[in-house]
Structure 1
Amino acid sequence: MGGSVSCCISPGESPKIHRRELELEECPITTTEDVSEDTGTYLQHISDRELPDELAQEANPSDHPRASTLFLNKSQTDVREKRKSNYMNHMSPGLLSKKYSSCSTIFLDDSTVSQPNLKSTIKCVALAIYYHIKNRDSNRSLDIFDEKKHPLSREKVPDDYSVVDPEHKLIYRFIRTLFSSAQLTAECAIVTLVYLERLLTYAEMDICPCNWKRIVLGAILLASKVWDDQAVWNVDYCQILKDITVEDMNEMERHFLELLQFNINVPASVYAKYYFDLRSLADDNNLSFPLEPLSTKRAQKLEAISRLCEDKYKDLSKSAMRRSVSADNLVGIKTAQAVLS
C-alpha cells in the first residue's frame, strides 16, 4: 500500500490531479532501534494492544477476516423483506435481464478482487452506507462530523437535515463526484468502507443523516493517502467541494486518525472479505456487475496467462523434487558414514 498519512496545508495542488512527476526526497526514518535505552522511552508494539481472537473479532470486524462485516448484517432485514415480498407476489426480479453463458457465447465478469470494477464498486459501497444509515441503532455522533456545525458548502443546511435519511442515489453521487474529481481507484473505495466501519466500531458511534457526508469524506481522504503512493492533498478536496477550508480538512483528518487509534492497516484477508461481501450485497439487491462476452483476443490472453502459471507450477514442483532427492542423498551418505565408522 501507499505512503504515509499526513495533513497537507500547502496552497498548491497535489501531483495526483495533474499527474506531474516529482522527485521524492529521502527522509530519515526513526525506528525503535534509534531510541536509547537510557531515555526510558518505550514504544508499545501494536501486538501488545491486540485483544484475544474471539473478543477482537466480535468488537472489531474491520480488523479480522472471519468476522462478518457490519453493512452485510445491516442489510439482511431489508433483504429478507424483499425476498418475502417477491415470494408472496410470485416475482423474480432481475432474472430475465441477467446474462448467462451458452455454448456459443461465454460471459465474463471484468471485476476481480485485485482489479474491481470502479462504477459497480462505488455503487455497492454507497449501498452499504445507505443500509448503515437506514438501519442504524441510534444517532450517536461527534461535533467534528456534524454537517451543520461544519458545513461542506455555503448553502443553508435544511432544518430536517438530521432526521431525513439520504437515498442511495444521493450517496452514490456524492462518492462518485469525489472519486471522479480526485481520480481515485476502486480499491480505494473498498478501503474507505473498511475505515468507515472501523470508525463506527472504535468510536462507538453511528453514521446518520447529520454526519454521513463528513464521515465518508474523512474515510475517502484517509484511504486515498494510505492506498495511493501519489495521494490527493487536502487542498485538492477543498477545490472539489469549493467551500470547505484546508484547516477544517486537517482537523477532521486528525480526529479521524485519533478515533481509529492510528490503526490504518488493512490486511489482504480483510480487504478480500469486504470485496466479496460487497458482491453478495450486490446480488441481494440486483446490482449486477458488468458482464462482457469473451472475445478471441481475451481468450488468447487468458490461455497465455494459464500456460505461464502452469509452467511456474511445474518449475516449483521440479525444484521441490530436487531438494527432496538431495536431502535423501545427504541422509543416505551420513548413514553410510556412521555405519563404516
Structure 2
Amino acid sequence: MGGTVSCCMSPRDTPKIHRREVELEDAPVTTTEEVDVSEDTGTYLQHISDRELPDELAQESNPSDHPRASTLFLNKSQTDVREKRKSHILNHTSPRMMTKKSSSCSTIFLDDSTVSQPNLKSTVKCVTLAVYYHIKNRDSSHTLDIFDEKKHPLTREKVPEDYATADPEHKLIYRFVRTLFSSAQLTAECAIVTLVYLERLLTYAEMDICPGNWKRIVLGAILLASKVWDDQAVWNVDYCQILKDITVEDMNEMERHFLELLQFNINVPASVYAKYYFDLRSLAEDNNLSFPLEPLSNKRAQKLEAISRLCEDKYKDMGRPCMRRSVSADNLLGVRKSHAVLS
C-alpha cells in the first residue's frame, strides 16, 4: 500500500446496523392465487436503495466516514474544556492570551503546521490527547480479547493488577506514541490517519478504548495507517524490534483482526482528513497546546509564495473540463511533496 488512499468499502455502509440475512425458506412466496402475475414476472426482490440507510443515520453512526459528523474525541473533551473555562473565569485568568504571540507591523508570526504538512510534534501531542479523552470519558469498558494487554502483553514485564482500571496520564500515552513515530520515522499525516482508524474501529466494533486495551488499539491503528499512507511502509517485524518482546505472529493477528473489524474500509476522504486536522487544532487551543510560532522571514515568505503558485496551478488543472480528476486525500495533500522539495 502506498501514499494513495484506496477505497475498499462504500462509506454508506454502516456496520453498526446489522442487516438480517434472509434464508431461502424465510423468503416470501407468491402464488397466482394471491396476485395476478404474468409469465415473465419473477419473485419480487427489494431494491438495493430500499435497504440502504439514510445519509443522516450513516453520518451519525460513522463520524470517521463523513465530513459533517462531529469527531468523537472533540465531543469527549467538551466536559473537561467547560470545567477549565469555568476555572479560568473564576480565577480571572486567560492563559491562552498570556502565552500567544501577537503579530505587529514589523513582525508576522506564523506556525509551521498546515493541513498539507502538519507539525509532527504538535500533531502527535494532539492525537495522544484525543486518545486520553477517549479513555478518561469513556461510556463503558467494552473490549475484545485481541486488544487485551493482559492476554496479549507487549512486554515481558508483569502487567499491573490495576491495568484495566487505572487511567493512563497524557504524558504516558504521548511517550508510547512518540517512541513508535520516532523509531519508525512516521509522518504527522500518519498520526491523523491513525486517529481516523481508531475512531472508526470504536464505531464499527461498538467497543471502547480503556486502560486495558489502549496500547494495542493505538499500535494496530498506527500499523495500518503507516501501511496505507506512507510510500515506504514499515514492516511488522520492524515494530517487533522497537517493542522488543512482541512477536511477528501477534502483530499479524492483530492487524488481521483490525482490518476485519473495519470491514476493510481503509478509505479516508480528503474532507474527513481535513475535519480531523482542524478539530485537532481546536482541541489544542482548548487545552492551551499552542503550535510553535516563528517570525516570518524573507526566505520563508518566498517558499510560501512558491507553494501558493503550485497549489493554484494544481487546482486550475483539476478544474479544466478536459481533465476530470477526483478529489481525494492524495490530490488535496499532494503538495506536501513539493513543500518538502522546497524546504
TM-score of the alignment, normalized to the shorter chain, above 0.5: yes
Q: Superposition RMSD on alpha carbons, in Å?
A: 2.7
Q: CA separation in 2, counterparts of 1:48 and 1:180?
A: 49
Equivalent residues of 2:236, 2:252 under 8 A apart: yes
Kept after mapping to 1: 8 A contact 2:156/2:245: yes
Equivalent residues of 2:139, 2:208 under 8 A apart: yes
Q: How many angstroms does 1:310 deviate by? A: 6.8
1:270 to 264, 269, 272: 272
Q: Deviations over 1:309-339 (max 9, x none)?
A: 678899999999xxxxxxxxxxxxxxxxxxx
Aligned to 2:102: 100
| Amino acid aligned to 2:200 | R
1:300 CA displacement? 2.6
Change (3 A) 1:314 1:152: closer
- Given that 2:6 and 2:267 are in contact with CA atoms closer than 8 Å, whether structure 1 keeps it comes out as no
Q: Which moved more, 1:94-103 or 1:308-317?
A: 308-317
Q: Could you tell me how far 1:301 is from its partner in structure 2?
A: 2.9
1:214 pairs with 2:209: no
- Greater C-alpha radius of gyration: 1
Structure 1: distance between partners of 2:173 and 2:249: 25
Distance change >3 Å, CA 233–CA 100, structure 1 → 2: same
**For residues 153 and 288 of structure 1, do their structure 2 counterparts lie closer, same or farther at Cα, with a shift above 3 Å needed?**
same
Residue number in structure 2 paired with 1:32:
none
Following TM superposition, by how much is the alpha carbon of 1:178 offset from its aligned partner in structure 2, in angstroms? 0.3
* 8 Å Cα contact 1:50/1:56 also seen in 2: no
Other-structure match for 1:74 = 76
Task: Flag the 1:244–1:101 CA change in 2: closer, same or farther, 3 A.
Answer: same
2:299 aligns to what?
297
Alignment partners' CA distance in 1, 2:320 and 2:144: 60
Q: What is the CA distance between 1:88 and its match in structure 2?
A: 1.0
1:157 Cα deviation after fit: 0.3
1:18 is aligned to none
**What does residue 177 of structure 1 align with?**
179
Q: Is the 8 A contact 1:122 1:186 kept in 2?
A: yes
Alignment partner, residue 255 of structure 2: 253
Provide TM-score, normalisation by structure 2. Answer: 0.76
For residues 226 and 307 of structure 1, the distance between their equivalents in structure 2, rounded to whole angstroms, comes to 29
Residue deviations 1:22-76, cap 9 Å, x none?
xxxxxxxxxxxxxxxxxxxxxxxxx999632101000000000000000000000
- Asked if the contact 1:162/1:209 (under 8 Å) is kept, the reply is yes
CA displacement at 1:114 relative to structure 2:
0.5
TM-score (normalised: structure 1): 0.77
CA shift for structure 1 position 145: 0.3
Change in Cα spacing, 1:204 to 1:316, as seen in structure 2 (3 Å) is closer
Equivalent residue, structure 2, for 1:119: 121
Mapped partners of 1:102, 1:231: distance in 2: 43
Provide the rounded CA distance (Å) in 1 between the counterparts of 2:225 and 2:317. Answer: 38
Q: 1:50 to 1:201 in 2, by over 3 A?
A: farther
TM superposition shift of 1:308: 6.5
Instruction: Write out aligned runs for 1:1-341 (5 A).
Output: 1-2=3-4, 51-306=53-308
Decide whether the 8 Å contact of 1:58 with 1:67 is kept in 2.
yes
Residue by residue, what CA displacement relative to the aligned partner does 1:281-301 show, whole Å, maximum 9, x if unpaired? 000000000111000111233
Q: Deviations over 1:160-180 (max 9, x none)?
A: 000000000000000000000
Q: Tell me how far 1:98 sits from its aligned partner.
A: 1.1
CA distance in 2, matches of 1:165, 1:92: 28
Q: Which runs of 5+ in 1 are unaligned?
A: 6-46, 321-341
Measure, in 2, the Cα distance between the counterparts of 1:119 and 1:274: 16
The 1:300–1:210 alpha-carbon spacing in structure 2 relative to 1, beyond 3 Å, is same
The residue type paired with residue 289 of structure 2 is L
Moved more, 187-196 or 303-312: 303-312
Q: Is the 8 A contact 2:5 2:267 kept in 1?
A: no
Distance in 1, matches of 2:222 and 2:290, equals: 24
Identity over aligned pairs, percent: 88
Change in CA separation of 1:281 and 1:53 when aligned onto 2, cut-off 3 Å: same
The one-letter code matched in structure 2 to 1:88 is L
Letter in structure 2 aligned against 1:270: V
The aligned amino acid for 2:80 is D
Aligned partners of 2:96 and 2:288 also within 8 Å: yes
User: Cα offset for 1:94?
Assistant: 3.1
Q: Distance in 1 between matches of 2:265 and 2:81?
A: 32
Contact map agreement 1:140 1:205 (CA 8 A) in 2: yes
Change (3 A) 1:105 1:4: closer
Q: Distance in 2 between matches of 1:166 and 1:289?
A: 24
For structure 2, list consecutive stretches of 5 or more residues without a partner in the other structure: 8-48, 323-343
Rounded Cα–Cα distance in structure 1 between residues aligned with 2:265 and 2:321: 40
